[in-house]
């Protein structure tokens, strides 16, 4: 006989409990809606302070539209994670001492600044930065010191940018950047206009001018000497000149070092003969340029994309499977209306950085990027820019900063080199002593770049070389090769 259990009826929830619960939901929804409106409203004071226009905070990344929006977002997630990991690592046991010492030096620097002991404060700020170069507080306070005491608003803005890259929610850095961004942009624009004035002055000198032709010849030798020197070539300027003029071997120098010089010469002649007059630079042109750079050292790899992954210092270039697509996008960017509307120096510097960042070749990336940069400058009436090999560390440092999100220091560096190259031509064609200045760019003990120094007696024999055409043919094996891991970033 089946027995059925009586089901105990559940008591009904009191009405006031339901009312109370609905009231909580309503209040929470209202608060959320208000917060969403405050964060998205353009008139919100919070948004005005915490959201800088793209032209300020992310201006430099917007210039680098090599990748799609989705890819940039993916890169940003990877970058943010890398930054987070690096910040965490900076507080690991191995780095804890440096962080503590940096904070101590920072506090002492601020105290010295308050007491008016600016020289001591500067040294302490520099010491703190050397110990903790990625600490947002150090970057922020040092930037404020540079802005208000040293009147170096450009470098201060750079440090504010770095602080924001590491700590995007840093309200003080955001406010400082909002104050300095427009001023720095104006200064950069004025600097570029001054370069145009020097370019125009050089253009006013007739090409048959004997002094100008001698200057072109000397600058040609220097350009090759410094470009291969950046990659580790040990030839002196006199030896470089000898190889180009005589095609004779130099005792004690490797075959590769000779071929690097000859490759640069061949590539520069190709630029003069084929690329300067072209309205558009194609991917085929870049490959042909690289084919000449590596033509003697590694003719198999010359003009070919790399087929394996490479590592360049802290930079990991795209994999070989992505190179064809990325280079096609780079070609489109190179010939886009937006890119061609940029100032020629900015455009050329950006093209240089983009190509070396993709790092499409197993070797010769740096030399090819510098040659492409000079091709674009020459099309705009500028002479080929000489990047002094003595500035190698700064050159790589500014490329590294560009990898971290701020291209402006690299553009300024190229602008500096452009101005000094223009000065070389203008100085040589003026009514001054019969010497051509050499871009020695030696660094003094204080780290300042020395002024142009004279090199030697000018060559008396004038040649018909163009802005970048003279002796040679060949290739190279530089530290811009990806496999070594210590090349151009």
Q: What is the pLDDT of residues 368-390, one digit of tens each?
A: 999 999 999 999 999 999 999 99
What confidence tier does 263 reach under pLDDT thresholds 50, 70, 90?
A: very high
What confidence tier does 410 reach under pLDDT thresholds 50, 70, 90?
A: very high
Residues 391, 361 share a domain? yes
Residues 355, 210 share a domain? yes
Domain holding 438, by residue range, is 205-442
Q: What is the pLDDT of residue 225?
A: 97
What confidence tier does 394 reach under pLDDT thresholds 50, 70, 90?
A: very high
Known catalytic residues are 359
Q: What is the CATH number of the domain that holds 119?
A: 1.25.40.10
Q: What is the pLDDT of residue 378?
A: 97
Residues 343, 216 share a domain? yes
Q: Is the residue at 345 inside a domain?
A: yes
Q: What is the 3-state secondary structure (H, E, C) of the chain?
A: CCCCCCCCCCCCCCHHHHHHHHHHHHHHHHHHHHHHHHHHCCCCHHHHHHCCCCCCCCHHHHHCCCCCHHHHHHHHHHHHHHHHHHHHHHCCHHHHHHHHHHHHHHHHHHHHHHCCCHHHHHHHHHHHHHHCCCCHHHHHHHHHHHHHCCCCHHHHHHHHHHHHHHCCCCHHHHHHHHHHHHHHHHHHHHHHHHHHHHHHHHHCCCCCCHHHHHHHHHHHHHHHHHHHHHCCCCCCHHHHHHHHHHCCCCCCCCHHHHHHHHHHHHHHHHHHHHHCCCCCCCHHHHHHHHHHHCCCCCCCCCCCCCCCCCCECCECCCCHHHHHHHHHHHHHHHCCHHHHCCCHHHHHHHHHHHHHHHCCCCCCHHHHHHHHHHHHHHHCCCCCCCCCHHHHHHHHHHHHHHHCCCCHHHHHHHHHHHHHHHHHHHHHCCCCCCEEEECCCCECCCCCECCCEEEEECCCCCCCCCCCCCCCCCCCCCCCCCCCCCCCC
- Which residues are annotated binding-site positions? 312-315, 363-370, 395-396, 403
Provide the domain count of the chain. 2
The residue ranking higher by pLDDT, 469 or 268, is 268
What confidence tier does 354 reach under pLDDT thresholds 50, 70, 90?
A: very high
Q: Is the residue at 483 inside a domain?
A: no
Residues 398, 267 share a domain? yes
Residues 328, 211 share a domain? yes
Q: What is the pLDDT of residue 79?
A: 44
Q: What integer best gives the mean pLDDT of the chain? A: 80
Residues 241, 178 share a domain? no
Q: What is the pLDDT of residue 477?
A: 35
**pLDDT tens digits for 129-148?**
999 999 999 999 999 999 99
The residue ranking higher by pLDDT, 486 or 4, is 4
The residue ranking higher by pLDDT, 458 or 321, is 321
pLDDT at 23 over 80: no
pTM of the shown model: 0.74
**pLDDT tens digits for 25-53?**
666 666 566 555 544 444 433 333 333 34
What confidence tier does 336 reach under pLDDT thresholds 50, 70, 90?
A: very high
Lowest mean pLDDT among 241-245, 267-271, 408-412, 433-437: 433-437
Residues 351, 212 share a domain? yes
- Domain boundary residue, one of 442, 465, 482: 442
What confidence tier does 6 reach under pLDDT thresholds 50, 70, 90?
A: very low
Q: What is the pLDDT of residue 391?
A: 96
Q: What is the pLDDT of residue 43?
A: 41
Residues 172, 100 share a domain? yes
Percent of the chain past pLDDT 70, that is, above it, reads 69
Q: What is the pLDDT of residue 459?
A: 31
Q: Is the residue at 412 inside a domain?
A: yes
pLDDT at 271 over 70: yes
Q: What is the pLDDT of residue 224?
A: 97
**pLDDT tens digits for 210-230?**
999 999 999 999 999 999 999
- Which residues are annotated binding-site positions for ATP? 312-315, 363-370, 395-396, 403
Q: What is the pLDDT of residue 15?
A: 53
Q: What is the CATH number of the domain that holds 424?
A: 1.10.3290.10
Residues 167, 121 share a domain? yes
Residues 264, 171 share a domain? no
Q: What is the pLDDT of residue 270?
A: 96
Q: What is the pLDDT of residue 95?
A: 78
Residues 226, 112 share a domain? no
- Domain boundary residue, one of 187, 217, 240: 187
Q: Is the residue at 217 inside a domain?
A: yes
């Amino acid at each position: 006989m089946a027995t059925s259990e009586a089901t105990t009826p559940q008591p009904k929830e009191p009405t006031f409990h339901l009312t109370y619960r609905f009231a909580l939901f309503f209040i929470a929804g209202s608060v959320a809606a208000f917060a969403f409106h405050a964060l998205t409203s353009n008139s919100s004071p919070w948004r005005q302070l915490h959201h800088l226009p793209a032209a300020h905070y992310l201006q430099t990344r917007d210039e680098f539209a090599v990748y799609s929006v989705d890819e940039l977002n993916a890169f940003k997630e990877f970058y943010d994670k890398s930054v987070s990991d690096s910040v965490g690592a900076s507080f690991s046991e191995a780095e804890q001492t440096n962080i503590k010492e940096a904070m101590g030096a920072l506090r002492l620097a601020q105290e010295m600044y308050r007491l008016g002991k600016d020289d001591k404060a500067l040294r302490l700020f520099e010491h703190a930065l050397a110990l903790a170069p990625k600490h947002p507080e150090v970057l922020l306070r040092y930037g404020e010191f540079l802005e208000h005491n040293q009147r170096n608003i450009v470098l201060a803005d750079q440090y504010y940018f770095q602080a924001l890259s590491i700590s995007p929610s840093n309200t003080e850095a955001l406010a400082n950047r909002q104050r300095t961004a427009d001023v720095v942009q104006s200064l950069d624009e004025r600097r570029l206009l001054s370069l145009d004035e020097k370019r125009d002055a050089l253009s006013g000198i007739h090409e048959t001018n004997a002094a100008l032709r001698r200057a072109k010849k000397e600058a040609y030798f220097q350009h090759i000497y410094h470009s291969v020197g950046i990659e580790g070539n040990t030839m002196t300027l006199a030896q470089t000149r000898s190889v180009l003029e005589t095609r004779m071997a130099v005792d004690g120098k490797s075959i590769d070092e000779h071929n690097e010089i000859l490759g640069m010469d061949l590539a520069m002649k190709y630029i003069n003969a084929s690329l300067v007059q072209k309205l558009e630079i194609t991917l085929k042109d870049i490959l042909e340029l690289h084919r000449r750079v590596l033509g003697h050292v590694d003719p198999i790899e010359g003009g070919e994309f790399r087929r394996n992954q490479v590592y360049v210092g802290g930079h990991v270039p795209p994999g070989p499977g992505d190179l064809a697509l990325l280079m096609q996008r780079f070609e489109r960017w190179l010939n886009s209306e937006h890119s061609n509307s940029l100032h020629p120096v900015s455009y050329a510097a950006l093209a240089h950085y983009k190509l070396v960042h993709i790092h499409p070749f197993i070797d010769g990336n740096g030399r090819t990027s510098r040659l492409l940069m000079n091709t674009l400058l020459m099309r705009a009436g500028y002479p080929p820019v000489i990047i002094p090999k003595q500035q190698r560390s700064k050159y790589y440092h500014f490329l590294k900063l560009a990898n971290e999100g701020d291209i402006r220091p690299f553009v300024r560096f190229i602008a500096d080199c452009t101005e000094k190259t223009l000065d070389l031509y203008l100085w040589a064609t003026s009514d001054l002593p019969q010497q051509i200045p050499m871009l020695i760019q030696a660094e003094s003990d204080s780290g300042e770049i020395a002024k142009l120094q004279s090199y030697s007696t000018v060559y008396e024999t004038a040649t018909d070389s163009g802005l970048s055409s003279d002796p040679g043919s060949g290739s190279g094996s530089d530290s811009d090769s990806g496999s070594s891991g210590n090349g151009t970033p």
